[in-house]
A and B are shown apart, each in its own frame.
Chain A
């Protein structure tokens, strides 16, 4: 009950935090998709590049998030605004699942179907847009879905460098040793993660080729 009252009293702040959180997650997932999908397609077609690219994305994933935020802080233009920096860091983390799934999705398209398409005289781009991407779409989208859910969680750390978001409540609550404040950040974050998962899952199902 205490918690509920806290939510009612601070609902504007919680909503604001949720908005900031969505801002960070939305942009970073979008940027990661804009970079990761083409990169995944490229390495699926040029098999020499697949190992180095996937290895790099893997290494990025192993950097602790707090450390990555810290690393980027002194970078001139980036460090000016905390949300800019947070979006970049979150984008980097979101790359791996998107690149990996795009790569796996394109590679997983039946070779006989691709060869039939080439044999019929489809150009490289027609083959990609009409055959490979539609058939790989659900795998690619599940990569975006994973990236988004990871981002929702990681974005709470962005509060440590002052980028706002629901992490603000969590850090403040930790400092104040007040569970209500922690939960005011953690519960909406969990709900966001579930909604992102559910929403992307729904889109994925709608677009799945029969």
Chain B
């Protein structure tokens, strides 16, 4: 569970986030939706302390996250970013097994875990010895998800993880991610600017604009919302969104 309590963040006199109050409930996928510069990525980075708030508090599993050792905090939170951010000089196996390794797991357990993760994200075991540049974009992104899940964190932070993919692969990964979530039940904060993706994946959608949280709605509420920002989004994405909205089951 993640909770933002009146969080503000500014840098060099620019207010990036102001007065954010938000809860990500256990086992839900909360989508942070907004355009570039709306503060959604910053919101994510506040959770694992890649960014520290100017004021306010962020609670992770009920504890203010600045009262925990930052390394411990981060190792307990999966982090998946756009273009995966894989280490180019590590094989797939080392990439996925990195957190377990620095956590001191025994070798056999790491190897077994890597195989398990590869299977979980739909990759074949022979990919373990490949380097990231030898994979397709979709495979890299799957490895990114597998790496985020490897040490079995309760919380997953995902920053536009499927943003750089072609539509078909993106569709595939979104579908698989929903299925995956049915099995692993992580608490997920998911950043995107794609309304379709937000409607499909989100248990709830937190709409952000210019450093402020506009509203938090379920996908179905979002489509019917009379909020000017929400309806502007719906208009921008056009018809056929109803079919994209999930049934609030994720």
Contacts and interface: CB of A to CB of B under 8 A. Distances in A.
A153 interface: no
A117 interface: yes
Contact of B98 (A115, A118, A120, A210): A120
Interface stretch (B5-13, B80-88, B107-115, B232-240): B80-88
A112 B83 contact: yes
Task: Count chain B CB atoms within 10 A of each CB in A119, A122, A130 and give the residue with the most.
Answer: A119
Given A119-B79, A126-B102, A113 B85 contact: yes
Interface string A129-169: 01100110000000000000000000000000000000000
A115 B89 contact: no
Interface extent on A, as a size class? 10 to 19
A113 B87 contact: yes
Interface string A96-121: 00000000000000101101111111
A209 interface: yes
Contact of B74 (A110, A121, A209, A210): A121
B74 A112 contact: no
A130 to B, nearest CB: 8
B158 to A, nearest CB: 11
A119 B131 contact: no
Nearest to B83: A112
Contacts of A9: none
Contacts of B81: 112, 115-116, 119
B85 A116 contact: yes
Contacts of B133: 210
A209 B72 CA distance: 29
A122 B90 CA distance: 15
Interface in B86-120: 86-89, 98-99, 102
Given A112-B81, A210-B131, A210-B133, A119 B87 contact: no
A47 interface: no
Contact of B89 (A119, A120, A134): A134
Contacts of A130: 87
Contacts of A134: 89
B173 to A, nearest CB: 18
A113 B98 contact: no
Contacts of A62: none
A120 B77 CA distance: 7
B82 to A, nearest CB: 8
Contacts of B196: none
B48 to A, nearest CB: 6
A135 B85 CA distance: 14
A2 interface: no
B75 A121 contact: yes
Given A121-B102, A122-B102, A116 B89 contact: no
Contact of B99 (A121, A123, A135, A209): A121
A123 B71 CA distance: 7
B87 A118 contact: no
B50 interface: yes
Contacts of B84: 116
Interface in B157-174: 157
Contacts of B99: 120-121
User: Nearest 4 CB-CB pairs, A to B?
Assistant: A116-B85, A121-B74, A209-B89, A121-B75
7 contacts: A110-B88, A112-B81, A113-B87, A116-B84, A119-B45, A121-B99, A122-B98
Interface of A: 110, 112-113, 115-123, 126, 130-131, 134-135, 209-210
Given A116-B81, A120-B98, 7 more contacts: A116-B86, A116-B87, A117-B87, A119-B45, A120-B79, A121-B76, A126-B102
